[in-house]
Structure 1
């Protein structure tokens, strides 16, 4: 038998195993329909029925700074780096699982040289390390060996393990996409907060300027004997309260900017120069196409990750059940020995062996593993269904929050206009001595409240719009295969 023929016979073992193998142990995974998961046909709240492309939803706000920051975070965020590392680990786990489907091969080789002894004999060191004595004259010995072993996957335990690893790998890809969505929406929310704090700072400083003027008027009227010093003290107290709020707003603004810096992979304060120029709160579109509720099964990566986890745990049931069944292992070896390279392949010896094992007693361990796997699958199904219901809840809450913010924005716009007119009239009347400072202070406070309420409502509207995009699964392409990122590592190899 030639060496090549021996190798060919060993490599036929997996093929024979595939022909002998029966169906894999355990249940076959079947995806659930939207109805089985409790997804209604229509939204419980009125939403645009026509779905729109929301893979780059931040561009709908028409704010180049926001677009720059979100896309910078997608490229440099460190949470994404960690998610990518977990994705690469899952890929290697899949490679390890697949290796069990193939035979293992190992080779060995040795060489020995005889040494002349006193009295004409020679000592020959054999490949196994023993030394023998022969007649005079030097001599060489060479040996090569090839060993192979393969565990036949008769009941599909290894195939189920590969199935589980593949599902976990795909789940890691969706986890990466979920992290991406979280980073994008968090950058956008903090950007809206930063712009809102800028607007509040502008309001506070404008109010402080007016109260400085009111304080001066009150001082003049006290000096003229037209009013008591009570007006002056009220004006001082109002100005101090407004001034005390400015440092707090500045601190909140700094926190939002620092958060954006970290999300974009920079030290705190790294994006301050980019945000120095004051811009209005981004408004975004007036309506978002939500599509039908069943869209969340495709658009939300966290839902798809939960579905893949269910597939993985279902496959693990088959892995556990296969341990209860017989295990058949085939092994073989090829060996050759010669005194020189020229005759190394003249004589080849080989052997093929088979062995079978069956668990007889293990104190219920293997049965418990099967039951544990089934329980894990039940839990994964509950988690999958829960992720769907939470996704629907997120969308409904975001829609309601958006409508609430829009209505509050309309009402605060009316309140701001009325309060501004009242404050102007009260200020003019106080200068003319037609009203007291208490009335003026009340109107000024109402104006500050309405102005800040309008800013807050606009901020809430933008935040609710971001939450709606996030709840719909915007920010990634559901048709993309994010597991491909595992073959293109960023960072240290």
Structure 2
């Protein structure tokens, strides 16, 4: 009775002390980004704030291209990069489970042993006896200094970081698929322009060759026409090479082998006419919601908790232990023995020669590095938004000029051809007009492709293109079945993913810090 009473008193005291002791180390606070309050990006009128605007989670649907929508869907389902990001979420969930398990008794051990002894003596007599014992040991290190709480806090933040990283992969993948898709269409149109001009130049070359053969024209016109024709012809293989490389790159994003894109069999070269980007919120708020910024935020929170873990090693470890044992043998002269032991234990690494203190310093330095990395991530995000908006504005301004230049070049070619046919000018004027028309047409379509790429970059810079992670779309069912056959995953392969609570504040602790939705 005295033993049981002692154990109860010890456990109650430990629970009281545990509840009243705050974890060591700093409580995480959101990094300071006060400069964002006064930041006014040079958006050059490209962003129209509209409360009724659709969110940016599927910004590509604004382009009204069913083929692109289909490719986006398949990329999210089939991309190896997306699968890796999903598996990192699963890994972080398992790590969180490891950290949470430290709250329970760390030692739960059952041991048993037995022995048999046989002896043969003189006269043929034989004597034997057996002995056996069993014990159950239980040890629980109390989280007196918050070591385990900080471990769970760190693992929790790392889990949220993996969710944010998965969103960041979605943003990047969406932009890459769209960029390659429209790069393919742009290259197809450039090939069409080159082939159209090639046909025109071939006709001119044939005319000059016929005139030269008949002695009606000089060889100079013939060679110049031939050189221009061959130069245009030589540009087409390079464009076809670029087209093949773009197709292969898109195939990799979809987890396909080269030349395995039947979806592009009926693709055309038509490029969309895009309007200005409309958003619901101001760019500063969108910047703070970018998945890469959120990833850096949670990584910083995870590292902050590591300081408390390191500091806990400086203090004594207080544990409760208990043992129930039994031993017996076949000898009648002795009785079976049952033993019970329980009580507290203290261990303290006193002579660590500065190792533990330097580990605290190491974790603090890593926290400061994470804070600096967060600030750099925010700065780069602001730069990318401003650069993308500026690029949209400049390519749009250039497009009208280039379209006018194409129109002027085509008119110049028409006039030069008529004057040559009427004998008012030499053939060199026709060749110059043909070269100018080809060059200006190619520049115009290249700039149009650059303008589309700039708008895609702006959507990416604003953090658009991600959707909430669900276990079914994070890891495909077939892959989960394969992993379940290999390892017992319990419920981790089926349980819903829990995202952080969405709040309006950005200065709370990691357990309640915001993870704003993709709802610009």
Give the TM-score normalised by structure 2: 0.82
* Structure 1: segments with no counterpart, 5+ residues: 128-142, 341-345
Q: Which residue of 1 aligns with 2:108?
A: 105
SS of the aligned residue for 1:150 comes to: strand
Residue 123 (structure 1) aligned to one of 116, 128, 140: 128
SS of the aligned residue for 1:329 comes to: strand
Written as runs of structure 1 = structure 2, the 5 A alignment for 1:285-364 is 285-289=275-279, 291-336=281-326, 349-364=339-354
SS of the aligned residue for 1:48 comes to: strand
Q: CA deviation at 1:33?
A: 5.8
Q: CA deviation at 1:416?
A: 1.0
Q: Which residue of 2 aligns with 1:132?
A: none
The 8 Å contact of residues 290 and 472 in structure 1, kept in 2 or not, is answered as no
The 8 Å contact of residues 288 and 378 in structure 2, kept in 1 or not, is answered as no
Alignment of 1:466 onto 2:440: no
Residue 216 (structure 1) aligned to one of 206, 214, 223: 206
Residue deviations 1:338-373, cap 9 Å, x none? 789xxxxx9853211322122322221111111111
* Structure 2: segments with no counterpart, 5+ residues: 331-335, 484-520
Residue 479 (structure 2) aligned to one of 481, 486, 490: 490
Alignment of 1:434 onto 2:412: no
The 8 Å contact of residues 394 and 471 in structure 1, kept in 2 or not, is answered as yes
Q: Which residue of 1 aligns with 2:49?
A: 49
RMSD: 3.0
Residue 446 (structure 2) aligned to one of 456, 465, 481: 456
Separation in structure 1 between the aligned mates of residue 238 and residue 9 of structure 2, nearest angstrom: 76
Alignment of 1:199 onto 2:189: yes
User: How many residue pairs were aligned?
Assistant: 467
Q: Which residue of 2 aligns with 1:40?
A: 38
Residue deviations 1:445-477, cap 9 Å, x none? 111111111111110111011101111111113
The 8 Å contact of residues 326 and 359 in structure 1, kept in 2 or not, is answered as yes
Alignment of 1:266 onto 2:271: no
Residue deviations 1:410-451, cap 9 Å, x none? 111111111111112212222333221211111111111111
Alignment of 1:423 onto 2:413: yes
The 8 Å contact of residues 287 and 462 in structure 2, kept in 1 or not, is answered as no
Written as runs of structure 1 = structure 2, the 5 A alignment for 1:351-430 is 351-430=341-420
Residue 61 (structure 2) aligned to one of 28, 37, 59: 59
Separation in structure 2 between the aligned mates of residue 203 and residue 444 of structure 1, nearest angstrom: 12
Q: Which residue of 2 aligns with 1:130?
A: none
Give the TM-score normalised by structure 1: 0.87
Separation in structure 2 between the aligned mates of residue 49 and residue 166 of structure 1, nearest angstrom: 35
The 8 Å contact of residues 296 and 392 in structure 1, kept in 2 or not, is answered as no
The 8 Å contact of residues 297 and 304 in structure 1, kept in 2 or not, is answered as no
Q: Which residue of 2 aligns with 1:135?
A: none
Residue deviations 1:152-195, cap 9 Å, x none? 11110121111111111211221122122212211111111100
Alignment of 1:23 onto 2:22: yes
The 8 Å contact of residues 303 and 384 in structure 1, kept in 2 or not, is answered as yes
Separation in structure 2 between the aligned mates of residue 427 and residue 296 of structure 1, nearest angstrom: 55
